[in-house]
Amino acid sequence: MKKLVLAYSGGLDTSYCARYLSKELGYEVHAVTVNTGGFSETEISEIKEKALTLGASTYTAIDAVETFYDKVVKYLIYGNVLRNNTYPLSVSAERIIQAIEIVNHAKEIGADSIAHGSTGAGNDQVRFDMIFQIMAPELEIITPIRDEKLSRQAEIGYLQDQGIDYSWEKAKYSINKGLWGTSVGGDETLTSDLPLPDSAFPSPMEETASKKIKLSFRKGELVAVDDEKGSPVGNIIKLNSLASRFAIGRDVHVGDTIIGIKGRVGFEAAAPLIIIKAHHLLEKHTLSKWQQYQKEQLGNFYGMLLHEGNYLDEVMRNIEIFLQDTQKHVSGEVFISLHPYRFVLEGIISEHDLMNASFGSYGEWNEGWTAADAKGFIKILSNAGKIANHVNQNHD
């Protein structure tokens, strides 16, 4: 029997794959779940039981939350990455790490093939296949749902014929949860005009009175919430639990998919949005204007390549080195107030704050130059415009 590693989530598509590949095609199926923050221990236990019942020879759960942070999330924070100025790449970023972990596992056990349950209509097929092909071109990629163009009802019918009758009733909203946010899909996101209702989001609003919090950053990483120190991953989880009670971080993202069509998805990402905006504010105070300019270009580029599945391109490592180096002075406290559905950045304190009052106060007074210095500076600064105006005499 040929060994096959199946990326297994416990949902309908991967459950069909587990049964079909083992029962009909005779593969020795090794089911693998890569947890990037979306599964509890109880859920992992239930997924394991289901995978083995469906015919998997073994089941492995890989805890990749810290890996996800170290390899991806950290740089999304450094780069203040929001796709289309909106979406913190919550789920798309996870797929890269999941694919890498699955390839590594396949190599460890000497598998011949890798399978996943993606359809032919989404981005994930591209992300998974690209990582698999680049890291392990010798492994065959098997995708029954995509290749056979299976409908949801056809999958359910097959499993029922096999005597497997789990509750496959389609939820009104599809939820994909991870460390860096939760995506929400439903009928409303298939159109361009309808908003998602409050009931679609997994975290209900429980707090109505405003609350002040303090985030502490050290070299760009979140090291404490309200002076309580913890790991960056622990702080993200803590902040998300705190802020999601205010229904903060809800939005709908519209973007270009890898396969060329427009896509619309809801998301809930309280901690990611607060962290990125707080980090960005701290950078405004501690970085030069040219650092900020270059970071904006490269941060957007990094996010775009990550979204498109190009994580393994060497340019990504080059950008990561740049982003890491820019964080040397991004340390300090950011003060934030939380309110129902929104948050307010109130200010920062940092020993690296470039609003150093000993040099002057914008629009008020200055210590570092004289009036004559200012006049000379402005005169020279105007030279290029004066020359162009003299030569062209054209203001159209």
For the structural domain made of 174-287+326-349, what CATH number should be given?
Answer: 3.90.1260.10
Residue 54 contacts by C-beta under 8 Å, 6 or more apart in sequence?
Answer: 15, 18, 19, 22, 164
How far is it, in rounded angstroms, from Cα 172 to Cα 162?
A: 26
Series of mean pLDDT values for 10-residue runs along the chain (396 residues): 95 96 97 96 96 97 98 98 96 94 98 96 94 97 96 94 87 92 94 95 95 98 98 98 97 93 95 98 97 97 96 98 98 98 98 80 73 93 92 78
Distance CA 335, CA 212 (A): 7
The CATH H-level (homologous superfamily) assignment of domain 3-161 is: HUPs (3.40.50.620)
Structure tokens at 117: 């349950």
**DSSP-derived secondary structure for 316-340:** HHHHHHHHHHTTTT--EEEEEEEET
State phi, psi for 341 to the nearest 5 degrees: 70, 0
Q: Where are the domains of the chain?
A: 3-161, 174-287+326-349, 360-392
pLDDT value, residue 192: 96
Q: What are the DSSP calls for 124-172, one per residue? A: HHHHHHHHHHHH-TTSEEE-HHHHHT--HHHHHHHHHHTT-----PPPS
Terminal Cα distance for the chain, rounded: 75
Counts for the chain of helices (H) and strands (E), in that order: 14, 16
CA angle 194, 198, 204 (to 5 degrees): 160
pLDDT of amino acid 169: 79
